[in-house]
Structure 1
Amino acid sequence: MRSSQRPPLKYPYEYVCVYDLETIVDEEMPDGSFPPWPRHRPVAGAFLTAEWSPVGYSFKFDTLLCREGREAEFYRKIDSLLPSGGMGVSLNGRNFDNAVLRLQAQRNGLFDLRNIARQSESGRFDVAHLDLMDAFGGGRGTSLAELCGALDIPVKTSVTGGDVAGLWKLGNLAAIKAYVQEDVIATYILHLHAAAWREGHERQLVLPLADLAAWIEGEPGLRHLLPFATCRPAKWARSRAPALRAAAALADAELRLKREQDEAAFSSR
């Protein structure tokens, strides 16, 4: 009899792209409610690429602004940043960010953006894209601020999503860029918590977060993100990382020694 239980997904943690959009609408809702997603158009986006190698995690940060008359360039650049392999990560991306990207690309006559398509067409049980709303299972009313508050992750320190339209009209692009970058870093740290829980081992949080904190501290252009390098989860990760790295190095050395012994025994026959 065939089992109806879905096999566990193997998420490609070695290469992820965490992203977030900031959007505006041309006309607000009369009752002040949040406008339906088809009315939104992006004005900014941030994309954090995290890639693992035997020496640790490396990071690349891209922040884009959607200038009037250059929308096609904006969406093509996003398509180049989203992974053709690996995994995209967002918070509520399945129901908002990905849907907005797909619709606005179509609006601009862009139908060949396959990496945006890969994200927007992914389902809940698909390693192409991970929506942290699904990972945390708290329902669609859960917000980034609430999740981060529960885990002592700093977020929305000076600007909120409701401020973006006003900042855009004023031309305060620096504030919008800093805000979307904060949201992406917070989303990435949330993702690491979810990964460690899913895999049942702290290394999925400790090692990449310790490397992220060191990277932020070493990048002069990311000084506004320093609270993420010193928050409680980052301090804890940095205190735990040396022991985990030492244990991993010892295990690797033992594995190499065992392999060499097996090869020597085989050749002496």
Structure 2
Amino acid sequence: MGIWQQRPRDDHPTGRVVAFDIETIVDHEPADGGFPPIPQHRPVTAAFLAATRAADGSHDFQLDVLVCRPGEEERFYRKVDTCLPAGVVGIGWNSKGFDLAVLRIQAMSHQIFGLEGLARQAQAGRYDTIHCDLADQMSGYGSSRTLSLAAVCETLQIPVKTSTHGCDVGALWRAGDVDAVMRYVCEDVIATWICWLHWAAWKNADPSEMALPLADFAVWLQTTPAFEPFRGFAECPPARWALANAPGLRAARASADAERRLAQERDEQAFAASAR
């Protein structure tokens, strides 16, 4: 009997997602300048952007930024775990190939177990809907060359890596400039989430999947003083498009929901009348 591979469904729920990213250092850079093997990477910062759609269609956000200093591994990994609760869709860029692989092996190296949220994401299959690796999605599951986050953001006009680059993280960390590394990881996670919105709108053929959450996010950034360094994301072309289009799309969605409720009430009344 033949065994048939299940076709990917790409139906990740969009109502409750957490985009995340980590920054790492290695103790010894390879002499040939190559990329160090995954087991040599140690996370030093991580960022988690949670976006939740409420019943009324509005969106709530939370941005958590974590730092992992020597001796603080237990606290760091327990907090990572709480940032990935059951019911969310984890969003990352090359997250299956790097971020989750690093987090998994480093947590094991410190004998930190019982991390159900992190394990759920790290052990998710390639086609599972609880995790979305956007680098894998954008390449058509390997059908084309894997793209970098920076290259995609340049095309989509999303600001990213405006303050530093990944190759600078080690030097910044060793120099004690933790704030610069934290800002960098936040920029990457916000950019990843905005890429996800583009992907969700494209996949579902529904512009409201991008316009509504991004418009709410832009307002959130503009009205939260602590996020002043990231205001550029509220003013980039995708955010301006979202702010311009969200009112009409929100009204259209409300009208469609109202019509759906009226149709349901008519059906219920007709059924009740026929049962008399």
TM-score by length of 1: 0.94
Name 1:252's counterpart in structure 2.
257
Task: Tell me by how many angstroms 1:13 deviates.
Answer: 0.9
Conservation of the 8 A alpha-carbon contact between 1:206 and 1:240: yes
Conservation of the 8 A alpha-carbon contact between 1:24 and 1:42: yes
Alignment of 1:209 onto 2:214? yes
Conservation of the 8 A alpha-carbon contact between 2:74 and 2:112: yes
Alignment of 1:106 onto 2:108? yes
Alignment of 1:234 onto 2:236? no
Specify whether residues 81 and 5 from structure 1 end up closer, same or farther in structure 2 by C-alpha distance, changes over 3 A only.
closer
- Which sits farther off after the overlay, 201-210 or 182-191? 201-210
Alignment of 1:165 onto 2:179? no
Provide the rounded CA distance (Å) in 1 between the counterparts of 2:6 and 2:177: 51
Specify whether residues 240 and 33 from structure 1 end up closer, same or farther in structure 2 by C-alpha distance, changes over 3 A only.
same
How many residues of Structure 1 are paired with residues of Structure 2 in the alignment? 269
Specify whether residues 201 and 100 from structure 1 end up closer, same or farther in structure 2 by C-alpha distance, changes over 3 A only.
same
Provide the rounded CA distance (Å) in 2 between the counterparts of 1:180 and 1:203: 27
Task: Tell me by how many angstroms 1:26 deviates.
Answer: 0.2
> Per the alignment, in what secondary structure is the counterpart of residue 200 of structure 1?
coil
Name 1:76's counterpart in structure 2.
78
AA in 1 matched with 2:255: L
State how 1:53-202 maps to structure 2 within 5 Å. 53-55=54-56, 56-137=58-139, 141-202=146-207
Cα shift readout 1:105-152 (whole Å, capped 9, x = no counterpart):
001101211111111111210112110011111756521111100110
Uncovered stretches (5+) of structure 1, i.e. residues with no partner: none
Task: Tell me by how many angstroms 1:262 deviates.
Answer: 3.8
AA in 2 matched with 1:171: G
> Per the alignment, in what secondary structure is the counterpart of residue 231 of structure 2?
helix
Name the Cα RMSD after superposition. Answer: 1.9
AA in 2 matched with 1:173: V
Name 2:20's counterpart in structure 1.
19
AA in 2 matched with 1:23: T
Provide the rounded CA distance (Å) in 2 between the counterparts of 1:191 and 1:206: 12
AA in 2 matched with 1:37: I
Specify whether residues 106 and 2 from structure 1 end up closer, same or farther in structure 2 by C-alpha distance, changes over 3 A only.
closer
Percent identity between the two aligned chains: 49
Task: Tell me by how many angstroms 1:87 deviates.
Answer: 0.8
